Structure 1
Amino acid sequence: MKVRLVQNGLFTQIDDIADALVPPANGFYWVDANLEDLEMLQPLFQLHDLAVEDCLNDEEQRPKLELYDSHYFIVINSIRFDDEEIFLRALNIFLFRHTIITVTRQKINEIRSIKPVLWEEEVNSPDRFLYHLVDLVVDNYFTVGDRIEAKIETLEEDILVHTKKSHLNEIIGLRSEILWLKKMLVPQRDLIWALNKRELRLIDDQLQKYFGDIYENAVKITEEFETFRDLMGNLREAYQSSLSNRTNEIMRIFTALTTIFMPMTIITGIYGMNFDNMPELHTAHGYYAVLAIIFGVGLSMFLFFKKKNWF
């Protein structure tokens, strides 16, 4: 756990967390904690039991905003995409008048990225810290969305060029991830709407208006992932169509080969009969003549099919 005094974007490390209980003359306190620290933080800051229980819950938390007497409890999901699976990591936030507490189970990139933003924007209040943190979380969804879109395009090109059975598993897996993520985007969008529209005494009225921009981005993200869901459906249809075309192509080749060998089979069948009165059987060069005829017929049919683009 790290406790910092933030004054106009500048950080001062605090060794004794009890100092954070006294409002500073300037700035605010940022407590960056993990789940194990909640046992100490709950009695010190009078964190609500239900909020602490939600933090400790192993199941994935839906984004939400809960208002208590002395503080707000906010859950928002950070996103990560490793080209195979989409991960959501809950970012739990306790917002006070002069303090903000962030609690995470795993390391979250936005927590590291917020530091230069605080310094650049000269942030001096916990509600502005909250604004920039939520903004970073939402912006990261656009980054992940771009990577998912690129993966869909690459997968589509691979399917059109060379269809493989593994493509179907990739389509099903990615589509499931997108559907699951879309379910989480709706409550997250509603959370940001609440930060923009609800009467919140711990957030400055002027600052609340800026959450409107984040809400618009959240709506765009939700629509974008809705489009991804449709694209995955089209991708599956393209896979089935490509697989069907590939099967038809193979059957066409087999049909052409069968057609080529059919007259050859007829010729060899005729001259394979063992009748005594077959003059051709006693011809000196009959064997070579029949081979030449067979080869000529086969080559002629092959060139004809090649001209018709059947090969």
Structure 2
Amino acid sequence: MASVLRARKERRRVSSSPRPLPKRFQALPPSSSVDWLAEDVLAALTPAACKRPGVLDRLRQELVSTAADLAELNNDDLRDLGLGMAERRRLLSWALGEEEGHSDLTPTEELGVLAQEEQPRTNFKLEHRASLGGRPLQCLEKAERDMDLWFDLAADIQTPHLASQLKRSLSGHCNGTSGPHEMPSSREIRMKCIREDILEEQFDLTPDRMREVFFRLRRAAGGEIRSAKQLSEGLSQLGLASVAETHLARAIDTVTGGSCSSLDAAGLQLEEFEVIFSRLKLAQLLGKKDGGVSDVTQTDLLTVCDFDLHQQELKTLSGVELCKFFFGHRGIMGTEDDDDGCCPVRWVHLRNCQFELLLALAVKYRLHPLGVEDVLEQRPTKVDLCGQHIFITLEHLWVAGGADGEGASPVQVRSRHVSIICSAPPRFDTVITVDQPNRCFAEDWPGELDSGRDESDAWVSTLQSRLRRLRSRLRERKAHYLAHHIIDMCADELVQVTRAYSARLRFLEQALQGPSAGPGAGTSRPVPMSQWLEEVSLVRLQLAVVARRLRSHRSMVRRLGEAPGVCGEDRLLSYLDDVADHLEEALDDSHHLTDRCDALTVAYEIAVSREQARQREEAKQSDRRVQEQQNRHAERLNDTLFVLTVFTAIFAPVQLISGVYGMNFVNAEGHPTIPELLWPNGYAYFWIFVVLYFIVVSLFATRLFQKLRFSARAANEQVQQDRAGQSG
């Protein structure tokens, strides 16, 4: 089956009218198009695309061999080849013959000119490059450092409305005036679209963007930019519409060294246009209405560290020194004859993400808008290769106050958002770090946040102390090793968080098994305090957040190691593999600790069930003891009543007899009418009867008492046996 590109070419070939020859080749003889190879044109116009894997292979696979074949491709075809938006625009402009000034050159010569125009510009060691249009480069370097000139020119430039709105929304946490829980949410920061409305429109100074804008302005000017009016019209399209032409003429004279003849002959060059545009942007960000420096430069939020093998220099910049940093370039450390005597590695650290300083860094180092957007919006842990820089975002977690090896206190975790911007290979000479409060951490983290002493700069101080060492290995290597070291430090902090939770769970497990101040203290398996289960449940939720951070950190490290050319050499790849292994182990530990929380929860529930059963048994035994006491009391009462009843029953007949024979009934002669009273031995007979009665009745009562007691004991034993059977 035919490929997509060949199918499109075939459809255009069989269309109703044949497609005319591209304008690029209309003035050339047909045979000359053979001298234009598609790969040569692609390498001249889009050198970065040729380095990407698969682009040239796809070009050969689709049988696009000559420049004429390449010129016939449309925007969709170039997208299928894997070209970016700016690269497609550049190729289409070339195919339509929109570049001026090359019509009198042969194809080979024109390719050389195109390759020279597309070569990225470097800001270092300008004195070793050729002159621009016959003008000395010393004037260009001098113009870059002239802060008074650019502050005067930018005094009337207004800050874009959307940028001012974003600055106000960020001012609370950027300037450090708000508390850790008063930062705006992510939705408030994404007011409309930061990248499209602010960064790409106003502060995109990447080399590709600058070349695109410059050549578009040059075509609009009729071939070359030779006057301040032409430059003013171009700058107005880039958001710099308030600059007077007289001021721009002064800027052009300073940049070109006042050489009007060379400007009329060669016009304004790309490097000169970049200097004018970038310095105006810097002055717009750092200046104020009266032409001086703004209040933002009086802060001490920016730290710059230049180092190489032999020396190290650390500065905290503010005021005029801060402006000199943005408008100047780093010096050369060492000697020219020494291999190490080159531009040093520079580490720029921005604390709290001050808005103007971040945009000024984006302008100075030509940062891609996608990377700056990730810093402003605090994207999760990731790595991207945008333009000439590697952008890494990290969600830094650490244990507040240091890890407690015994786990005697609950784990308090804090978070900051760290962004690392490293210059892409092969230079590896600059690292920019941005450390700011993590706005999303309060929403993602379960439980209350610790509001103790701020320790956010601990890793910065540690890294600076290591760079100050004379034999530091960091000073022997380039910037990508410094970026790796920062990633390794953040990974170690994540591992320490996991170990702190392991120690805390071990302490809670011992509290579950040992003596406790909670209910059931002093028994064989006491139950800890009521807050115990709440803390274990909270630890489980917090471990889930830590596991997500570990997983994203591990994916970032692996992707960084797989990126072509990022590691520079195999030794860094081995370091990244070691970091990934540590994160993998910590991730496994976090999963194990989560399972351990579940097991502790089950053990706690079992202990609570046993404690409740023990309490129920104790309640039953207490009720049984009370019942026994009541039974004994009732039994004693019954015995007393029984004795009283027996004595009453015994003495009742005797009393009856005594009462009957004690009545004094007599006849007329005064003799008793009861015959037994006249017996001679009647009194003796009475006592004999009474004694015999008492003996018989006592024997009968004793026998009855024993029988009743035996029946009661048998009934109690039966009841106890029934209870024992029910409890068993």
Assess same fold via TM > 0.5: yes
Give how far 1:233 is off.
0.7
Is contact 2:561-2:567 (8 Å) kept? no
Amino acid at match of 1:80: W
Choose which of 4, 17, 30 in structure 1 pairs with 2:347. 30
Is contact 1:89-1:108 (8 Å) kept? no
For 1:252-272, what per-residue CA distance to the aligned partner results, in whole angstroms no more than 9, with x for missing partners? 222222222221111223455
Q: 1:132 matched to which residue of 2? A: 485
Counterpart CA distance in 1 for 2:365 and 2:503 is 45
Counterpart CA distance in 2 for 1:225 and 1:20 is 48
Is contact 1:23-1:98 (8 Å) kept? no
Inter-CA distance 68–273: structure 2 relative to 1 (3 Å threshold): same
Amino acid at match of 2:559: A
Amino acid at match of 2:377: N
Is contact 2:393-2:417 (8 Å) kept? yes
Inter-CA distance 216–71: structure 2 relative to 1 (3 Å threshold): same
Matches within 5 A, 1:59-78: 61-78=379-396
Q: 1:112 matched to which residue of 2? A: 461
Q: 1:17 matched to which residue of 2? A: 325
Choose which of 371, 375, 387 in structure 2 pairs with 1:55. 375
- Say which one has the larger Rg: 2
Secondary structure, aligned partner of 1:46: coil
Runs of 4+ with >6 A deviation: 273-276
Q: 1:149 matched to which residue of 2? A: 502
Inter-CA distance 259–99: structure 2 relative to 1 (3 Å threshold): same
Counterpart CA distance in 1 for 2:399 and 2:646 is 75
Matches within 5 A, 1:1-311: 1-8=302-309, 10-14=311-315, 15=321, 16-18=324-326, 21-22=329-330, 24=332, 25-34=342-351, 35-36=353-354, 37-57=357-377, 61-82=379-400, 83-96=410-423, 97-106=428-437, 107-118=456-467, 119=469, 120-123=472-475, 124-161=477-514, 162=516, 163-201=528-566, 203-271=568-636, 278-279=643-644
TM-score w.r.t. the length of structure 2 is 0.36
Give how far 1:183 is off.
1.5
Is contact 1:65-1:72 (8 Å) kept? yes
For 1:151-191, what per-residue CA distance to the aligned partner results, in whole angstroms no more than 9, with x for missing partners? 00111111223322111110111111001111221111011
Is contact 2:491-2:553 (8 Å) kept? no
Is contact 1:32-1:102 (8 Å) kept? yes
Counterpart CA distance in 1 for 2:628 and 2:383 is 80
Amino acid at match of 1:134: I
For 1:6-31, what per-residue CA distance to the aligned partner results, in whole angstroms no more than 9, with x for missing partners? 22284313543237745842421110
Counterpart CA distance in 1 for 2:628 and 2:328 is 95
Inter-CA distance 274–191: structure 2 relative to 1 (3 Å threshold): same
Counterpart CA distance in 2 for 1:20 and 1:186 is 41
Is contact 1:127-1:204 (8 Å) kept? no
Give how far 1:278 is off.
4.9
Counterpart CA distance in 2 for 1:71 and 1:281 is 114
Counterpart CA distance in 1 for 2:610 and 2:533 is 16
Amino acid at match of 1:142: V
TM-score w.r.t. the length of structure 1 is 0.81
Inter-CA distance 280–248: structure 2 relative to 1 (3 Å threshold): farther
Inter-CA distance 20–69: structure 2 relative to 1 (3 Å threshold): farther
Inter-CA distance 99–202: structure 2 relative to 1 (3 Å threshold): farther
Inter-CA distance 126–208: structure 2 relative to 1 (3 Å threshold): same
For 1:230-288, what per-residue CA distance to the aligned partner results, in whole angstroms no more than 9, with x for missing partners? 11111111111111122122122222222222211112234557996652999xxxxxx
Is contact 1:10-1:122 (8 Å) kept? no
5+ long unaligned stretches in structure 1: 283-311
Inter-CA distance 108–225: structure 2 relative to 1 (3 Å threshold): farther
Amino acid at match of 2:589: E
Inter-CA distance 121–20: structure 2 relative to 1 (3 Å threshold): farther
Q: What is the number of residues matched between the two proteins?
A: 280
Report which structure shows greater RCO (CA 8 Å, sep ≥6). Answer: 1
Counterpart CA distance in 1 for 2:501 and 2:534 is 16
Q: How big is the alpha-carbon RMSD for the aligned residues of Structure 1 and Structure 2?
A: 2.7
Identity of aligned residues (%): 16
Secondary structure, aligned partner of 2:565: coil
Amino acid at match of 2:574: K
Secondary structure, aligned partner of 1:75: strand
Give how far 1:110 is off.
2.0
Q: Which moved more, 1:113-122 or 1:142-151?
A: 113-122
Q: Specify which structure has the higher proportion of strand.
A: 1
Secondary structure, aligned partner of 1:193: helix
For 1:128-148, what per-residue CA distance to the aligned partner results, in whole angstroms no more than 9, with x for missing partners? 111222222222223222221
Amino acid at match of 1:121: R
Inter-CA distance 17–202: structure 2 relative to 1 (3 Å threshold): farther
For 1:206-232, what per-residue CA distance to the aligned partner results, in whole angstroms no more than 9, with x for missing partners? 322321111111111111111111111
Inter-CA distance 201–260: structure 2 relative to 1 (3 Å threshold): closer
Secondary structure, aligned partner of 1:62: coil
Is contact 1:20-1:29 (8 Å) kept? no
Counterpart CA distance in 2 for 1:249 and 1:94 is 63
